[in-house]
């Protein structure tokens, strides 16, 4: 489900708010993680796990009342429901004719293409969007964020700083900076925020890859390609957290030099490969990327 949320938000949001609304999902995740950092210092882990069931229950109930994606309805040929859903999302007095025509035209062109299988994602027509989506996930995770996050207390102790104070400060800063990123993303654009990773993971690389991933895949491959990108993301998260202690045992300085080198490569990748997606409809964007 994790990879479906930014995709769904991108499909229902107007283009001028798409970045902020998609980044808001990551802000909520960072907020929850930060709250867990704080209350985890004073509560036993079993109590913390039980508290986590509360938002899960709210989410489950919410699934019964959220609207369906207009683009998904259009892809299924459910024209009346498509227009009704789009009108509900844009407001009853909004003129949806141009947006509806763009979506329908794009869906019609995609229907002429066969539904791709896994290996077909790497065909020429999809290669650039898949490279961007997977590449950003690799850059996000192999830059070392999960190793640092999971072993934050140990890192503060090694640095001679209070683990309790350090985790609380980290949690507070993460909420503030991720919120700042969500506020700026539709004004500054995606690429500038991605390129400030060295200053703050939460501002750029934490949220923006999920925003870009939700925007770049054509609707006929969005589910499969999004799942592959998310699989790469979680594999990277596991590998980074698994190897962190081994790297630190080898050399604490060397560990952060390795992460710095990966982040330098990520900056080059973003400059050269990743397009700016701000202010474009999903149909315009996907057509230009996959042309």
The tokens for 175 are: 């909420």
**Chain-centroid distance, C-alpha 56:** 19
Distance CA 97, CA 87 (A): 10
Taking the CA of residue 105 as centre, how many other CA atoms within 13 Å lie in the half-sphere pointing to its CB?
Answer: 11
Distance CA 253, CA 240 (A): 16
Report helix, strand or coil for 144: coil
pLDDT attached to residue 264: 86
pLDDT attached to residue 3: 58
Residues 6+ apart with CB under 8 A from 205: 139, 140, 143, 145, 194, 197, 266
Residues 6+ apart with CB under 8 A from 237: 141, 146
Name the residue ranges covered by the structural domains of the chain: 117-290
Distance CA 118, CA 131 (A): 14
Residue whose structure tokens are 């207009």: 70
pLDDT attached to residue 197: 46
**Chain-centroid distance, C-alpha 23:** 7
* From the candidate CATH numbers 2.60.260.20, 1.20.1250.20, 3.40.50.720, 1.10.540.10, the one assigned to the domain spanning 117-290: 1.20.1250.20
pLDDT attached to residue 190: 61
Output the pTM of the full model: 0.67
**Chain-centroid distance, C-alpha 260:** 22
The tokens for 108 are: 């019609």
Could you list the mean pLDDT of each consecutive 10-residue stretch along the chain, which spans 291 residues? 71 80 77 78 84 87 85 84 87 84 80 73 83 89 81 77 77 74 67 56 68 79 83 89 88 84 87 81 74 62
């Amino acid at each position: 489900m994790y990879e479906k949320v930014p995709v769904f938000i991108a499909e229902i949001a107007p283009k001028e708010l798409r970045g902020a609304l998609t980044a808001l999902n990551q802000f909520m995740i960072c907020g929850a993680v930060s709250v867990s950092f704080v209350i985890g210092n004073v509560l036993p882990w079993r109590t913390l796990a039980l508290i986590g069931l509360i938002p899960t229950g709210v989410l489950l109930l919410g699934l019964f009342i959220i609207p369906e994606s207009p683009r998904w309805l259009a892809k299924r040929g459910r024209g009346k429901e498509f227009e009704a859903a789009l009108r509900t999302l844009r407001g009853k007095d909004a003129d949806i004719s141009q947006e509806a025509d763009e979506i329908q035209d794009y869906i019609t062109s995609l229907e002429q293409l066969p539904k791709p299988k896994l290996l077909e994602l790497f065909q020429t027509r999809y290669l650039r969007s898949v490279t961007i989506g997977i590449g950003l996930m690799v850059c996000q995770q192999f830059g070392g964020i999960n190793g640092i996050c999971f072993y934050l207390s140990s890192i503060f102790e090694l640095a001679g700083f209070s683990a309790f104070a350090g985790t609380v400060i980290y949690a507070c800063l993460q909420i503030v900076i991720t919120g700042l990123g969500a506020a700026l993303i539709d004004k500054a654009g995606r690429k500038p925020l991605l390129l400030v990773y060295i200053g703050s993971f939460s501002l750029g690389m934490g949220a923006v890859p999920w925003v870009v991933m939700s925007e770049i895949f054509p609707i006929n491959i969005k589910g499969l390609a999004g799942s592959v990108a998310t699989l790469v993301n979680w594999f990277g998260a596991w590998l980074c957290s698994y190897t962190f202690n081994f790297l630190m045992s080898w050399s604490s300085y060397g560990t952060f030099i390795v992460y710095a080198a990966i982040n330098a490569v990520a900056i080059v990748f973003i400059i050269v490969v990743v397009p700016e997606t701000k202010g474009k409809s999903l149909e315009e964007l996907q057509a230009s990327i996959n042309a």
